[in-house]
Amino acid sequence: MFYREAGQYKTSYKADMSVFPLLQDRIGIIAILAIAFVAVPLFASEFIILSVMVPFLVFALAAIGLNILTGYTGLISLGTGAFMGVGAYACYKLTTLFPGVNIIVWIIVSGFFSAAIGVVFGLPSLRIKGFYLAVATLAAQFFLQWCFVRIPWLYNYNASGAIEVPERTLFGLAITGARSSPEVRYLVLLSIVVFLTWIASNLVHGRIGRSWMAVRDMDIAAELMGIKLLPTKLLAFAVSSFYCGVAGACMMFLWYGGGEANDAFNVNQSFIVLFMVIIGGLGSLIGSFLGAFFISTLPTILKFGVPAVGIPLTGALAEHLTHIMVGALIIFFLIVEPHGLARLWQIAKQKLRVWPFPY
Protein backbone atom coordinates (compact mmCIF):
# COMPACT_ATOMS: atom_id res chain seq x y z
CA MET A 1 0.00 0.00 0.00
CA PHE A 2 2.56 2.55 1.14
CA TYR A 3 5.32 0.93 -0.68
CA ARG A 4 4.26 -0.90 -3.71
CA GLU A 5 5.91 -1.78 -6.90
CA ALA A 6 2.80 -2.41 -8.98
CA GLY A 7 3.11 -0.56 -12.27
CA GLN A 8 6.88 -0.18 -12.14
CA TYR A 9 8.02 -2.24 -15.11
CA LYS A 10 11.61 -2.99 -15.86
CA THR A 11 12.21 -2.95 -19.58
CA SER A 12 16.00 -3.34 -19.67
CA TYR A 13 18.63 -5.42 -17.99
CA LYS A 14 20.09 -2.22 -16.66
CA ALA A 15 16.89 -1.30 -14.87
CA ASP A 16 16.56 -4.83 -13.54
CA MET A 17 20.05 -4.82 -12.12
CA SER A 18 19.95 -1.38 -10.56
CA VAL A 19 20.68 -1.10 -6.85
CA PHE A 20 17.44 0.72 -6.13
CA PRO A 21 14.87 -0.67 -8.56
CA LEU A 22 11.88 0.95 -6.90
CA LEU A 23 10.93 4.59 -7.29
CA GLN A 24 10.15 4.84 -3.56
CA ASP A 25 13.62 3.63 -2.69
CA ARG A 26 15.19 6.19 -4.97
CA ILE A 27 13.10 8.96 -3.45
CA GLY A 28 14.03 7.68 -0.02
CA ILE A 29 17.75 7.72 -0.68
CA ILE A 30 17.58 11.22 -2.15
CA ALA A 31 15.64 12.39 0.89
CA ILE A 32 18.19 10.86 3.26
CA LEU A 33 21.07 12.48 1.35
CA ALA A 34 19.30 15.82 1.36
CA ILE A 35 18.75 15.62 5.10
CA ALA A 36 22.35 14.56 5.71
CA PHE A 37 23.94 17.19 3.48
CA VAL A 38 21.61 20.15 4.04
CA ALA A 39 19.34 19.78 7.04
CA VAL A 40 21.86 18.40 9.52
CA PRO A 41 24.57 21.08 9.08
CA LEU A 42 21.91 23.81 9.02
CA PHE A 43 19.75 22.81 11.96
CA ALA A 44 21.56 20.31 14.17
CA SER A 45 23.42 21.60 17.21
CA GLU A 46 27.19 21.33 17.44
CA PHE A 47 26.82 18.62 20.04
CA ILE A 48 24.63 16.47 17.77
CA ILE A 49 27.07 16.88 14.89
CA LEU A 50 30.21 16.19 16.91
CA SER A 51 29.01 13.55 19.33
CA VAL A 52 26.37 11.75 17.28
CA MET A 53 26.84 12.23 13.54
CA VAL A 54 30.64 12.29 13.23
CA PRO A 55 31.25 9.14 15.32
CA PHE A 56 28.39 7.44 13.48
CA LEU A 57 29.90 8.17 10.07
CA VAL A 58 33.40 7.13 11.09
CA PHE A 59 32.17 3.86 12.52
CA ALA A 60 29.89 3.29 9.53
CA LEU A 61 32.93 3.41 7.29
CA ALA A 62 34.84 0.99 9.53
CA ALA A 63 31.81 -1.30 9.70
CA ILE A 64 31.53 -1.35 5.90
CA GLY A 65 35.19 -2.33 5.82
CA LEU A 66 34.74 -5.20 8.25
CA ASN A 67 31.48 -6.22 6.60
CA ILE A 68 33.22 -6.66 3.26
CA LEU A 69 35.63 -9.07 4.89
CA THR A 70 33.44 -10.83 7.42
CA GLY A 71 29.95 -10.39 6.03
CA TYR A 72 30.58 -10.74 2.31
CA THR A 73 33.66 -12.96 2.18
CA GLY A 74 33.18 -14.91 5.41
CA LEU A 75 36.67 -14.23 6.78
CA ILE A 76 36.53 -13.32 10.46
CA SER A 77 38.81 -10.48 11.51
CA LEU A 78 39.68 -9.09 14.93
CA GLY A 79 42.24 -6.65 13.57
CA THR A 80 39.95 -3.80 12.53
CA GLY A 81 41.33 -1.44 15.18
CA ALA A 82 44.89 -1.97 14.00
CA PHE A 83 44.00 -1.43 10.34
CA MET A 84 42.27 1.79 11.33
CA GLY A 85 45.48 2.71 13.13
CA VAL A 86 47.56 2.09 10.01
CA GLY A 87 45.37 4.58 8.16
CA ALA A 88 45.65 7.18 10.90
CA TYR A 89 49.42 6.92 11.30
CA ALA A 90 49.97 6.81 7.53
CA CYS A 91 47.89 9.93 7.11
CA TYR A 92 49.81 11.65 9.93
CA LYS A 93 53.19 10.81 8.43
CA LEU A 94 52.08 11.83 4.95
CA THR A 95 50.63 15.15 5.96
CA THR A 96 53.64 16.08 8.10
CA LEU A 97 56.09 15.04 5.37
CA PHE A 98 54.14 16.69 2.55
CA PRO A 99 52.09 19.46 4.16
CA GLY A 100 51.39 21.05 0.79
CA VAL A 101 49.13 18.28 -0.46
CA ASN A 102 45.52 18.56 0.57
CA ILE A 103 44.57 16.56 3.63
CA ILE A 104 41.57 14.93 1.92
CA VAL A 105 43.91 13.39 -0.64
CA TRP A 106 46.05 12.02 2.17
CA ILE A 107 43.04 10.64 4.04
CA ILE A 108 42.06 8.63 0.96
CA VAL A 109 45.65 7.66 0.11
CA SER A 110 46.29 6.43 3.65
CA GLY A 111 43.73 3.74 2.88
CA PHE A 112 46.16 2.22 0.38
CA PHE A 113 48.82 1.82 3.08
CA SER A 114 46.29 0.07 5.23
CA ALA A 115 45.29 -2.11 2.26
CA ALA A 116 48.90 -3.19 1.75
CA ILE A 117 49.30 -4.15 5.40
CA GLY A 118 45.93 -5.90 5.25
CA VAL A 119 47.09 -8.03 2.32
CA VAL A 120 50.17 -9.10 4.25
CA PHE A 121 48.12 -10.22 7.21
CA GLY A 122 45.53 -11.72 4.87
CA LEU A 123 48.02 -14.13 3.33
CA PRO A 124 47.37 -16.89 5.88
CA SER A 125 43.67 -16.79 4.95
CA LEU A 126 44.24 -19.28 2.13
CA ARG A 127 45.35 -21.97 4.54
CA ILE A 128 43.38 -21.19 7.68
CA LYS A 129 39.76 -20.35 8.29
CA GLY A 130 37.34 -19.42 11.02
CA PHE A 131 38.78 -19.28 14.52
CA TYR A 132 42.33 -19.76 13.35
CA LEU A 133 42.10 -16.82 11.00
CA ALA A 134 40.53 -14.73 13.75
CA VAL A 135 43.57 -15.43 15.89
CA ALA A 136 45.91 -14.57 13.02
CA THR A 137 44.21 -11.19 12.63
CA LEU A 138 44.36 -10.73 16.39
CA ALA A 139 48.12 -11.09 16.01
CA ALA A 140 47.98 -8.24 13.50
CA GLN A 141 46.10 -6.19 16.07
CA PHE A 142 48.71 -6.69 18.78
CA PHE A 143 51.72 -6.41 16.51
CA LEU A 144 50.56 -3.21 14.80
CA GLN A 145 49.49 -1.60 18.07
CA TRP A 146 52.92 -2.42 19.47
CA CYS A 147 54.50 -0.72 16.45
CA PHE A 148 52.41 2.43 16.92
CA VAL A 149 53.53 2.74 20.52
CA ARG A 150 57.14 1.60 20.14
CA ILE A 151 58.30 3.19 16.88
CA PRO A 152 58.66 6.90 17.68
CA TRP A 153 59.18 7.73 14.00
CA LEU A 154 55.50 6.99 13.44
CA TYR A 155 54.40 9.80 15.75
CA ASN A 156 57.26 12.14 14.84
CA TYR A 157 59.01 11.68 18.20
CA ASN A 158 56.35 13.70 20.04
CA ALA A 159 57.10 13.81 23.74
CA SER A 160 53.56 12.71 24.50
CA GLY A 161 53.71 9.74 22.14
CA ALA A 162 50.49 10.85 20.50
CA ILE A 163 49.48 12.12 17.08
CA GLU A 164 48.97 15.87 17.19
CA VAL A 165 46.77 16.86 14.28
CA PRO A 166 47.97 20.06 12.65
CA GLU A 167 45.70 22.58 10.99
CA ARG A 168 44.98 21.91 7.31
CA THR A 169 42.77 23.93 5.04
CA LEU A 170 40.73 23.60 1.88
CA PHE A 171 39.91 26.81 -0.03
CA GLY A 172 41.05 28.76 3.02
CA LEU A 173 38.62 26.89 5.27
CA ALA A 174 40.12 24.93 8.16
CA ILE A 175 39.07 21.29 7.95
CA THR A 176 41.32 19.82 10.62
CA GLY A 177 42.70 21.24 13.84
CA ALA A 178 41.03 23.16 16.63
CA ARG A 179 39.79 26.02 14.49
CA SER A 180 37.84 23.91 12.01
CA SER A 181 34.10 24.17 12.49
CA PRO A 182 32.11 21.01 13.24
CA GLU A 183 29.94 21.58 10.16
CA VAL A 184 32.93 21.63 7.81
CA ARG A 185 34.41 18.51 9.32
CA TYR A 186 31.06 16.78 9.15
CA LEU A 187 30.52 17.68 5.50
CA VAL A 188 33.99 16.51 4.48
CA LEU A 189 33.47 13.26 6.35
CA LEU A 190 30.00 12.78 4.92
CA SER A 191 31.27 13.28 1.38
CA ILE A 192 33.99 10.68 1.91
CA VAL A 193 31.52 8.22 3.41
CA VAL A 194 28.94 8.68 0.65
CA PHE A 195 31.55 8.35 -2.07
CA LEU A 196 33.10 5.22 -0.56
CA THR A 197 29.69 3.67 0.13
CA TRP A 198 28.79 4.17 -3.52
CA ILE A 199 31.98 2.37 -4.54
CA ALA A 200 31.37 -0.43 -2.04
CA SER A 201 27.83 -0.83 -3.31
CA ASN A 202 29.09 -1.19 -6.86
CA LEU A 203 31.73 -3.67 -5.76
CA VAL A 204 29.42 -5.97 -3.84
CA HIS A 205 26.70 -5.91 -6.51
CA GLY A 206 29.12 -6.75 -9.29
CA ARG A 207 31.34 -9.61 -10.35
CA ILE A 208 33.81 -9.10 -7.49
CA GLY A 209 31.09 -9.11 -4.86
CA ARG A 210 29.56 -12.23 -6.36
CA SER A 211 32.88 -14.04 -6.16
CA TRP A 212 33.34 -12.91 -2.53
CA MET A 213 29.95 -14.28 -1.66
CA ALA A 214 30.65 -17.53 -3.47
CA VAL A 215 33.82 -17.92 -1.40
CA ARG A 216 31.85 -17.18 1.73
CA ASP A 217 29.12 -19.69 0.99
CA MET A 218 31.43 -22.54 0.08
CA ASP A 219 35.00 -21.98 -0.93
CA ILE A 220 35.56 -25.39 -2.52
CA ALA A 221 32.50 -24.96 -4.72
CA ALA A 222 33.69 -21.49 -5.62
CA GLU A 223 37.08 -22.84 -6.59
CA LEU A 224 35.45 -25.50 -8.78
CA MET A 225 33.50 -22.77 -10.53
CA GLY A 226 36.77 -21.12 -11.49
CA ILE A 227 37.12 -18.48 -8.81
CA LYS A 228 40.77 -18.21 -7.79
CA LEU A 229 40.68 -18.30 -4.01
CA LEU A 230 43.88 -16.48 -3.10
CA PRO A 231 43.36 -13.35 -5.22
CA THR A 232 39.71 -13.18 -4.21
CA LYS A 233 40.43 -13.44 -0.51
CA LEU A 234 43.38 -11.06 -0.70
CA LEU A 235 41.27 -8.55 -2.60
CA ALA A 236 38.67 -8.77 0.15
CA PHE A 237 41.41 -8.13 2.73
CA ALA A 238 42.77 -5.22 0.71
CA VAL A 239 39.41 -3.54 0.14
CA SER A 240 38.33 -4.14 3.72
CA SER A 241 41.56 -2.71 5.13
CA PHE A 242 41.31 0.23 2.75
CA TYR A 243 37.95 1.18 4.22
CA CYS A 244 39.15 0.62 7.77
CA GLY A 245 42.26 2.70 7.09
CA VAL A 246 40.28 5.60 5.71
CA ALA A 247 37.95 5.31 8.71
CA GLY A 248 40.96 5.47 11.05
CA ALA A 249 42.38 8.52 9.29
CA CYS A 250 38.96 10.21 9.45
CA MET A 251 38.70 9.31 13.09
CA MET A 252 41.98 10.99 14.01
CA PHE A 253 41.80 13.96 11.69
CA LEU A 254 38.10 14.80 11.47
CA TRP A 255 36.85 13.59 14.84
CA TYR A 256 39.43 13.15 17.64
CA GLY A 257 41.86 15.78 16.44
CA GLY A 258 44.78 13.80 17.86
CA GLY A 259 45.37 10.81 20.06
CA GLU A 260 47.34 7.71 20.73
CA ALA A 261 47.15 4.08 19.67
CA ASN A 262 46.71 2.39 23.03
CA ASP A 263 43.66 4.50 23.53
CA ALA A 264 42.11 4.73 20.08
CA PHE A 265 43.19 1.64 18.17
CA ASN A 266 43.17 -1.07 20.79
CA VAL A 267 41.52 -4.47 20.63
CA ASN A 268 38.33 -3.00 22.12
CA GLN A 269 37.92 -0.93 19.01
CA SER A 270 38.12 -4.11 16.92
CA PHE A 271 35.44 -5.73 19.04
CA ILE A 272 33.16 -2.71 18.90
CA VAL A 273 33.26 -2.68 15.10
CA LEU A 274 32.61 -6.42 15.09
CA PHE A 275 29.56 -5.89 17.32
CA MET A 276 28.34 -3.22 14.93
CA VAL A 277 28.55 -5.64 12.05
CA ILE A 278 26.82 -8.42 13.99
CA ILE A 279 24.00 -6.25 15.30
CA GLY A 280 23.66 -4.35 12.04
CA GLY A 281 23.65 -7.43 9.85
CA LEU A 282 26.37 -9.46 8.21
CA GLY A 283 26.66 -9.01 4.47
CA SER A 284 24.67 -5.83 4.17
CA LEU A 285 25.71 -2.24 3.59
CA ILE A 286 22.63 -0.77 5.21
CA GLY A 287 23.30 -3.07 8.14
CA SER A 288 26.74 -1.47 8.56
CA PHE A 289 25.08 1.92 8.89
CA LEU A 290 22.35 0.71 11.23
CA GLY A 291 24.79 -1.17 13.46
CA ALA A 292 27.26 1.72 13.57
CA PHE A 293 24.49 4.15 14.45
CA PHE A 294 23.10 1.92 17.12
CA ILE A 295 26.34 1.05 18.91
CA SER A 296 28.05 4.40 18.56
CA THR A 297 25.09 6.44 19.75
CA LEU A 298 23.72 4.17 22.47
CA PRO A 299 26.17 5.42 25.15
CA THR A 300 25.58 9.04 24.14
CA ILE A 301 21.82 8.59 24.26
CA LEU A 302 21.95 6.95 27.67
CA LYS A 303 24.36 9.51 29.09
CA PHE A 304 22.98 12.74 27.65
CA GLY A 305 19.62 11.95 26.04
CA VAL A 306 17.97 10.17 28.96
CA PRO A 307 18.81 12.89 31.52
CA ALA A 308 17.70 15.51 28.98
CA VAL A 309 14.15 14.12 28.93
CA GLY A 310 14.05 14.28 32.71
CA ILE A 311 15.06 10.82 33.88
CA PRO A 312 17.89 11.17 36.38
CA LEU A 313 20.66 8.83 35.35
CA THR A 314 24.18 9.42 36.60
CA GLY A 315 27.11 9.11 34.23
CA ALA A 316 28.53 6.07 36.00
CA LEU A 317 25.20 4.24 35.89
CA ALA A 318 24.75 5.08 32.20
CA GLU A 319 28.20 3.66 31.58
CA HIS A 320 27.34 0.39 33.30
CA LEU A 321 23.97 0.24 31.53
CA THR A 322 25.66 0.60 28.15
CA HIS A 323 27.85 -2.41 28.83
CA ILE A 324 24.89 -4.47 30.02
CA MET A 325 22.70 -3.48 27.08
CA VAL A 326 25.28 -4.05 24.38
CA GLY A 327 26.10 -7.45 25.84
CA ALA A 328 22.47 -8.46 26.16
CA LEU A 329 21.61 -7.20 22.67
CA ILE A 330 24.42 -9.19 21.07
CA ILE A 331 23.16 -12.41 22.65
CA PHE A 332 19.61 -11.46 21.74
CA PHE A 333 20.41 -10.76 18.12
CA LEU A 334 22.51 -13.88 17.71
CA ILE A 335 19.57 -15.99 18.89
CA VAL A 336 16.53 -14.17 17.53
CA GLU A 337 17.73 -12.43 14.40
CA PRO A 338 21.19 -13.48 13.24
CA HIS A 339 20.83 -11.22 10.22
CA GLY A 340 20.65 -8.18 12.46
CA LEU A 341 18.96 -4.84 12.11
CA ALA A 342 19.23 -4.98 8.33
CA ARG A 343 16.91 -7.96 8.30
CA LEU A 344 14.43 -6.13 10.54
CA TRP A 345 14.48 -3.26 8.09
CA GLN A 346 13.77 -5.67 5.25
CA ILE A 347 10.86 -7.22 7.14
CA ALA A 348 9.47 -3.78 7.83
CA LYS A 349 9.65 -2.93 4.13
CA GLN A 350 7.92 -6.19 3.25
CA LYS A 351 5.13 -5.46 5.72
CA LEU A 352 4.65 -1.98 4.32
CA ARG A 353 4.46 -3.44 0.84
CA VAL A 354 1.50 -5.68 1.61
CA TRP A 355 -0.22 -3.54 4.20
CA PRO A 356 -3.11 -3.70 5.12
CA PHE A 357 -3.64 -7.19 3.69
CA PRO A 358 -0.95 -9.51 5.00
CA TYR A 359 -0.84 -12.94 3.52
Alpha-carbon dihedral of residues 28, 196, 288, 129, nearest 10 degrees?
A: 150
Q: What backbone torsions phi and psi does residue 175 show, to the nearest 5 degrees? A: -115, -15
- Our CB check for other proteins shows the closer of 8 and 262 to be 262
Report yes or no: 144 and 117 within 8 Å, Cβ to Cβ: yes
Binding window for other proteins (CB under 8 A); candidates: 2-10, 198-206, 231-239, 309-317: 309-317
Q: Considering only residues 334-353, where is the footprint of other proteins by CB under 8 A? A: 336-337, 341, 344, 347-348, 351
Q: Looking at 6, 12, 160, 331, which residue binds other proteins (CB under 8 A)?
A: 160
Give the interface size with other proteins as a residue count (CB under 8 A): 56
Nearer to other proteins, 164 or 183 (CB): 164
| Window 19-78: residues binding other proteins (CB under 8 A) | 45-48, 50-51, 55
Is the bond preceding residue 356 a cis peptide, omega within 30 degrees? yes
233: which residues sit within 8 A by CB, 6+ positions away?
73, 75, 122, 125, 126, 215
Q: Is 297 in the site for other proteins (CB under 8 A)?
A: yes
- Decide: is 125 part of the binding site for other proteins (CB under 8 A): no
Q: Which of 203, 190, 30, 285 is nearest to 22 (CA)?
A: 30
Identity of the amino acid at 338: P
Distance between CA atoms of 221 and 336, rounded to whole angstroms?
29
Phi (first) and psi of residue 74, to 5 degrees: 75, 20
Q: Measure the CA–CA gap between 277 and 295, rounded to whole angstroms.
A: 10
Q: Binding string to other proteins for residues 192 to 211, with x set by CB under 8 A, is what?
A: --------------------
Q: Which of 4, 20, 99, 120 binds other proteins (CB under 8 A)?
A: 99
| Strand, coil or helix: 83 | helix
Q: Contact between 260 and other proteins (CB under 8 A)? A: yes
Least Å distance, CB 165 to other proteins, is: 8
Q: Site residues (CB under 8 A) for other proteins?
A: 45-48, 50-51, 55, 96, 99, 149, 156, 158-162, 164, 166-167, 177-179, 256-260, 262-264, 266-267, 294, 297, 299-301, 303-306, 308-309, 314-316, 318-320, 336-337, 341, 344, 347-348, 351
